[in-house]
Amino acid sequence: MRCGAWDHGGESTSGGTLRATLAFSGSTVTFSYSLFYDHAGDTTLQLSDADRSRFVEIVRATPGLRKALIYTPERATDPHLDDGPPPPLAAQLYFADIDALEDAVARDGHLQALAVHGMLPSLAGARITQQAMLNRTFAVPDPVFRTAPGELPCSYLVTYPGPAEDLNEWLAFYLAHHPAIMAKLPAIRELEVLTRIDWCGFLPWPRANAMLRNRVAFDSPGALTAALASSVRHELRADYKLFPPFRGGNTHHPMATLVVTP
């Protein structure tokens, strides 16, 4: 098992690597590597079409990539909060195992191409952070997207930076309660929860260390807005108030979501 691999305490598959078919608490497990391009106070930053195409093509060619989600800002209304402008770009790259992820971000890894100076001139002023995480995907009642032609689905990206007073207790409570409520959101198409891991990688940017992220996806910004106005949102807020003690709050951002496959 490579440096940074997640030891799940059970039998390993060939090569000692945890595979995506592992079931955990009703979820399917993969690994993901995320990049966040924060506007760093300059809310005028906007990804150009040329830079988007360049970024997508580099990501698409990543060896071992299962799929990637490319996020750009979207507009939706949450009646309970407003965390300000979303980042101008984020990306989540999925891998079946930690070996493939760490190969991609190694000293000579494919994703070093993203770190070439001037690679995304339209986001030259952005602050970039990175994080690899364990990704749990949970079932939803109707996972078939019905996004209108020419449009993109909308994801709601939620981050809990932490820390928790007792991370083990906090994660156990969250995983036992919150996903089951989120799965009841009207017209939800995807639901995943990401938790942090130790990992090896050599891209030059600072590492984020969020204790948990989650993503829910919908056909459109309108569908997300409707879900956030539903009674299920009240259930989620009530469950939030029962979380074991933690600090750092959370952030929420609606993002248009482009699916990229190899």
Provide the pLDDT for residue 235: 97
| Nearest CA-CA partner of 57 in 91, 12, 95, 23 | 91
**Assigned token pair, 88:** 């101008």
Burial 77-116 (b: 16+ CB within 10 A, else e): ebeeeeeeebbbbbbbbbbbbbbbbbbbbbeebbbbebee
Return the domain boundaries, the chain: 19-260
> The whole model's pTM is what?
0.89
The pLDDT tens digits for 11-34 are: 333 333 333 333 344 678 999 999
**Assigned token pair, 77:** 């209304």
Average pLDDT of the chain, as a whole number: 91
Provide the pLDDT for residue 16: 37
Question: Within its chain, how far is the Cα of 230 from the centroid?
Answer: 23
Provide the pLDDT for residue 2: 42
Matching CATH number, 19-260, of 3.30.70.100, 3.30.390.30, 3.40.50.720, 3.30.70.2660: 3.30.70.100
Burial 34-71 (b: 16+ CB within 10 A, else e): bbbbbbeeeeebebeeebbebbeebbeebebbbbbbbb
The ranges of the chain with pLDDT < 70 are: 1-26
The pLDDT tens digits for 164-187 are: 999 999 999 999 999 999 999 999
